[in-house]
Amino acid sequence: MADWFDGLPQREASARTGFAGNRIERRSEGRAPDAVERALADPAARLYLFRGEHSLVRGSDPLFAAGEADQLGIDGDDAVLLGWTPGGPRLAAIVGEDAVLDGAVAEADLRALAVAGEVDAEHLGALAQARSLIYWHRRHRFCANCGAATRIANGGTRRDCPRCGAEHFPRTDPVVIMLAVNGEDCLLGRSPRFRPGMYSCLAGFVEPGETIEEAVRRETLEEAGIAIGRVRYHASQPWPFPASLMIGCYGEAVTRAIHRDAAELDDCRWFTRVETLAMLAGEHGEGIMAPPEIAIASHLMRAWAAG
């Protein structure tokens, strides 16, 4: 008898995307009220530290012992518990803008770290979790229900309002990113924010009351004027800028005439498989580039172009 999962790979496509290597055991439910304090007291505890939008690293190591974090001036009351690993608890915290860093510690943009490939994938996944949580806590210090100051609860997986009792949970914003395909061609666009020469898949936020497939069709029609028929899911990717889940899909383009939204795209055009492979290899004759390998757009393009 055939198994329901016959034909699926043992390692899903999502596992190959950037920021997907998180191995932390979160244990998000039922944490003790003093879970953060207990974790920080563990000699094996290590923290991912941030200053502003940047991660702190020592060479290729983004982990700091609790004593080192204290010396850099973290506020222990704002630390969040990410979870546990065989090597001990893992937490995240912010250091002040006035913190003095020794010569071995540097600030690093998380995208740049991922592109450079100098930090283990396991750390990149944990850093994505850490950055998203830190960002959410920093921007949700007051209750959306009554306006009172909220406080961290359940080790950082929640904020509670002491006035009205409301519980607030971190959010993840779903984003569809899709490669529209028509025969042997795929549709790629250029956002004004992209570096010169780069083209990528179209993308947009899933709106309330919308399925993934409906979002793929709406966004493609709005941005490029292309109608989409069938939609096929490929993979997903955590994207901590600030806290999104990229949902990668292929869309069956049933029209070809492009009507570009000039406010969203500088350019939008069809590319053949050969051109797409050349872009991915950095060998396109016009100097056109694909997104970096950490991006799910690169994986969507490669999987289609390679057949």
Q: Are residues 158 and 17 in the same domain?
A: yes
CA distances to 214, 215, 219, 242 from 210, in Å? 6, 6, 12, 22
Q: Are residues 116 and 229 in the same domain?
A: no
Q: What is the pLDDT along the chain (307 residues), one digit of tens a residue?
A: 568 888 888 889 999 999 998 999 999 998 999 999 999 999 999 999 999 889 999 999 999 999 999 999 897 778 999 999 999 999 999 998 888 888 889 999 999 999 998 898 889 999 999 999 999 999 999 999 999 999 999 999 999 999 999 999 999 999 999 999 999 999 999 999 999 999 999 999 999 999 999 999 999 999 999 999 999 999 999 999 999 999 999 999 999 999 999 999 999 999 999 999 999 999 999 999 999 999 999 999 999 999 8
**Domain end marker among 132, 147, 168:** 168
In a domain, 89, yes or no: yes
In a domain, 228, yes or no: yes
**Domain end marker among 149, 168, 187:** 168
| Cα–Cα distance for residue pair 291/42, rounded to 1 Å | 41
Place of tokens 């740049």: 112
Determine the pLDDT at residue 30. Answer: 83
Q: What is the CATH number of the domain that holds 239?
A: 3.90.79.10
- Assigned token pair, 200: 């990528």
In a domain, 267, yes or no: yes
Q: Are residues 156 and 185 in the same domain?
A: no
Predicted structure pTM score: 0.94
Q: Are residues 181 and 155 in the same domain?
A: no
Q: pLDDT by residue (tens digit) across 163-209?
A: 999 999 999 999 999 999 999 999 999 999 999 999 999 999 999 99
Number of domains in the chain: 2
Q: Are residues 251 and 298 in the same domain?
A: yes
| Cα–Cα distance for residue pair 218/91, rounded to 1 Å | 39
Provide the residue range defining the domain that includes 201. Answer: 173-305
**Domain end marker among 168, 192, 213:** 168
Q: Are residues 145 and 188 in the same domain?
A: no
